[in-house]
Copies of this chain bind each other. A is one copy, B any other.
Amino acid sequence: MTLRIAIDAMGGDNFPSPNIKAALELVNEESIEIVLVGKKDLLKKNLPDSFPESISIVHAPEMVDMNESPTAVFRKKKEASINVAMNLMFNGRVDAVVSAGNTGAAMASATFTLGRLQGITRPAIPILIPGIHGRTVMIDAGANVDCKPNHLLEFAVMGKYYAKLIMGKEDPTIALLNIGEEESKGDNLTVSAYRLLEGNLEGFIGNVEGHQIITGEQDVVVCDGFIGNVLLKFIEGIVSGLVGMFFDRQNERDNEILKQISYKFEYDETGGAPLLGVNGVVIISHGKSNSKAIKNAVLLAKQLIEHDINRRISMEMEKMVI
């Protein structure tokens, strides 16, 4: 069966160009159909006069600003591309949605339109952090604040299947981000979450501290979305800070290291992060995404669908004793 994936063509800082370019390349290389959602005129103007049949356009006349309130976008702009795209998925007309637009709006639209996956109360975002022993899935990277212990258990299960199905880790190890390794360490949230994870989660290896996100051997690190978001952005800050403080752009060796750092830390390769725990497949891409990033986001969506990650997560949640 050919997959149909919707791209929010009005999403991203440089819309619609990276979205259209990605669509054209994708249908050329993969047995995939792309639905571009956005202003029809604009999209037609940016597509070649004759474009492949496997690309279609669904008109969405309303525009969303990057800083607009997510719930306002959902409630008042039913014809915005992100909302139209989510409705296509809700109605079974596409298998996944990729958007580089307003992140909050995409999360709100996905959660309200698609609803939550069976067993999940808080959808969450896993991201990949490069480390000494390979990449670690950090979840949640910012979809939730004020989490309860059972939310952290949900994140852990979602992160586990992300590591298992998408990163190919057979028996993923899952750790809880904390301020000490001992079970008794932490704040109210992590002390309770520790017990819940220990009692319910195969692969749970205990607490890890901040440095172990980079130096540790765990496959998944679980945390509240507040701290996940701070860490995600802190990485951006420290990478650009290192560049600004220590490297000389005139120096060949410096440029080589910078290129490697960018390669590992940039979004192009992963393309984006899924919003796991909604009743559908949604990839949130960075506003700065180029066509390569959008293309990889679509391929990530394809993997999530093919591995049926949602069903696996729901099945595991059914087994939990909370």
Residues on A facing B (Cβ under 8 Å):
130-132, 142, 145-146, 177, 179, 186-188, 190, 209-215, 225-227, 229-238, 240-242, 244-247, 251, 253-254, 257, 260-261, 264
Contact = CB atoms under 8 A, between A and B. Distances in A.
A230 B236 CA distance: 16
In the assembly, how many copies of this chain are there? 2
Given A213-B234, A253-B253, A242 B242 contact: yes
Contact of A245 (B211, B237, B253, B264): B264
25 contacts: A130-B241, A131-B237, A131-B241, A146-B187, A179-B229, A179-B230, A186-B226, A210-B231, A210-B232, A210-B233, A210-B236, A210-B237, A211-B237, A213-B234, A213-B237, A214-B240, A215-B237, A226-B227, A231-B231, A234-B234, A238-B238, A245-B260, A246-B257, A246-B260, A253-B253
User: Which of A142, A225, A229, A233 has most B Cβ within 10 Å?
Assistant: A233
Contacts of A238: 214, 235, 238
Contact of A214 (B212, B226, B237): B237
A307 B194 CA distance: 43
Among all A-B residue pairs, the 9 with the closest Cβ atoms: A211-B237, A210-B233, A214-B237, A145-B187, A214-B241, A210-B234, A210-B230, A253-B253, A179-B229
